[in-house]
Amino acid sequence: MFTQQEKQIVIARFRALAEQRISSLQHESEKIAQTCERRILRRLNTVSVTLRDVKLKDVLEVERKHTPTIKGLLGDIRVEKKRTMRK
């Protein structure tokens, strides 16, 4: 059997270990979040400025009609935007 004081020491030790584990998990999750954010930003920076305002819906609509090229895609999207604005 443990005395009351020994129980308190064990409880305090477990609490300290739990706090330490929580701290390390928070640090690890922050590190993972930063890594993911850097990867996403790197990919976004490779996207052409002219394509940033293009909606995915428009791209899918054009792809249904034919296999796109970048130059053709931009022209087709402009035509599609004009067509949707008229409606």
What Å distances lie between residue 81 and 39, 58, 68, 73, CA to CA?
Answer: 31, 8, 16, 12
Q: Are residues 36 and 56 in the same domain?
A: no
- Structure confidence at residue 59 (pLDDT): 76
Count helices and strands in the chain by DSSP H and E runs: 3, 0
- Structure confidence at residue 68 (pLDDT): 63
Mean pLDDT per 10-residue section of the chain, whose length is 87 residues: 92 98 98 95 82 79 76 80 77
What is the residue range of 59's domain? 51-86
- Structure confidence at residue 87 (pLDDT): 63
Q: Are residues 42 and 5 in the same domain?
A: yes
The residues near 74 (Cβ < 8 Å, ≥ 6 apart) are 50, 51, 54
Which residue type sits at 69? Answer: T
Q: Are residues 41 and 58 in the same domain?
A: no
Long-range contacts of 48-53 (CB under 8 A, 24+ apart): 50/74
Please count the structural domains in the chain.
Answer: 2
Q: Are residues 39 and 58 in the same domain?
A: no
